Structure 1
Amino acid sequence: MARHVIWNGDTPVSTIVVGRNLANEFVERALSGSHRRVAILTQPPTESLGATYAKPLIAEGLSVTTMTLPDGEDAKQLSVVEDIYRFLNTSGFTRNDLIVGVGGGALTDVTGFVGATYLRGVPCMYVATTLIGAVDAAIGGKTAVNVDGKNLAGVFCHPEAVMIDVDTIDRLPENLKRDGAAEALKTGFIEDMRIVELYESDGLDSDLAEVIDRSVAVKVAVVSDDFTEQDRRAILNYGHTVGHAIESTTGRSHAESVAIGTVAAGAASEAEFSFTGAQRQKDVLASIGLPVEAVEDDPVAIRMQMNSDKKRDDDGLRMVLLRDFGIPELVHVTDATVRAAFAGIGLSLAVRDLDTEEDST
């Protein structure tokens, strides 16, 4: 079992536990506060697991209620958030009670958003049940809902603890392991090439305990160094500028969009910094079955959506690029670099397409 702690200066704010058979650890942490009530939020795939975690809490005398949210990204709607607020209110929840999210990245996103905003803050915990949640979404305190775009509204809310049971993730179907690999590989490219080497040698049969532990270690270190994303934390968005735009405009999954966005970022890095690893990135992503091109997608729609990227500032569009593996940098990008990024994923942008930037802001 491994424990990682996120720090805000000298103050520990969140503990991430990576291991197997974590039920007892979960109960101990849930009982460590003065909570009288626990709300367990699940989605259809995690309903039974949520019930499993509820039983020992009920046995300890806590009042436990459960609510099943819509599946996937459909949970990240303001209308769903309102439903949760009403559910908590009718259940008599106070600021001393506990909200537990059992599920993947979308579920932990909305759990944290509710935890931060209901009664101006209710403690929460996550049980991350997908690889993509374990290596990325559940770690770091960023929460969000979707409003006219991916993650447009959000707040920082660090859960008291994140439980990552490797046994649960080992049992995931191949497609969900592939989804998580997109984010794990991103982490490898920016900081820890051992993760990349694992996937290059073993593909989707890679040791997930090591993949998760290394990915969590990187994210915890980066978040502790830049708690509210003022500077270095932006490197965690490698591949996400184009990726989020693809996700918002095409309906592709987050993982597929990030994979394509990572290839685009590699091509942009090659144009901007003469980065030599772009083909290696593309090869390892493709080797595990992730898409690496977007030839059927609308380049103008994707480019316009990029204007809503949160890294954009008054001086224009910014992307995280690589000077080399392990050396990421957030930079303003030229039109030529954007065209190179699109060319890397099989899309073409004319100069007139880039001129839409002024009209869309």
Structure 2
Amino acid sequence: MEGEILNFIKVWLTVCISLCYCHATGKLIPPGAGRFLAVAPIVVLFFFLPLQLTSIHLGGSTSFFIAWLANFKLLLFTAGDGPLSAEPPLPLRRFLALSCLPIKILQNEKSCPNNNRSDTTLKPKSFLNYSIKAVIVALMVKLYDYSEFIHPKVVLFIYSWHLYFLLEIILAITQFFGRNVLGIELEPQFQDPYFSTSLQDFWGRRWNLMATNILQPTVYKPSVKIAAKVIGRKWAPLPAVMATFLVSAMMHELIFFYMGRMRPNWECTWFFVIHGVALTVEIMVKKVLPEKWRLPPAVSVPVTLAFIFPTAIWLFFPQFVRLKLDVRAFEEYAALVTFVKNVAFSLVG
């Protein structure tokens, strides 16, 4: 644990120094090929840095923050687009935070002249909401002690909720950091996905909105422009959706590799391919079907969840078992407790 924490500090010091360089580059080099060539080595570096970490919590979160979020934002930055390309230029500390943390500043139309905002502003949830979810996570962890008496598929179902609640709590901590250290209000990254009325609602407006917000300008919108020249504007979103899901699949496979150091078996990719195809069909149906014929929420919500959960338990969550991420996560909890105790005893002694 001591060695991993030391490596974690080294990695994030490297990240901060690299992002300071990118911030300075943005002031000296205008968007275009020159800025891309200057920033490209940092993008390559950010793909290699997570390999310095082996833990689930430190390595997994770091790989998502820098190999996915930071790299995609930096690529947008080279083109003068995205959250890092504000006018006037962002202060350094805000540039560092927005580069690699899963946050998005709440903005109104007057403070957002470039229209870099969501169509709907999401309100942060209450402290009570997160407290209840923290208690649920604790109960789920205790429930794993009896996993040998529970069907494996039920365990995976429980683990899926465990992961969701844990992600919400981690991102709430990030929001607290942004509010109290940076002085900015941040949008929540989940919006009650268990109320999704469709796959489009789930992936576009409720689930992991930071990934959605970064995939939209980097993959979806460019794909729409290209496809519109070939098949027309009306149907251009269809191949763009598939392209977005394929890129998301590759990034998830990469993050699983960082955490498990095992070759992918491509089940995760098939999960995103199936959802991409299903969402494409859903969009096609919506384009040809009058709105009055669509299913009411009382029906569409259970139907949507009945598609999401089985496919996730079939193809997505088994990756956690295959890579033994759940077992290693609990080992890390125990190692962290031991590490904290040793530090406390050394300070007292």
Question: Under TM normalisation by the shorter chain, which class is it?
Answer: under 0.3
TM-score (norm 2): 0.24
Q: TM-score, normalised to structure 1's length?
A: 0.24
Greater percentage in helix: 2
Which structure is richer in relative contact order (CA contacts within 8 A, separation 6 or more)? Answer: 2
Larger Rg: 2
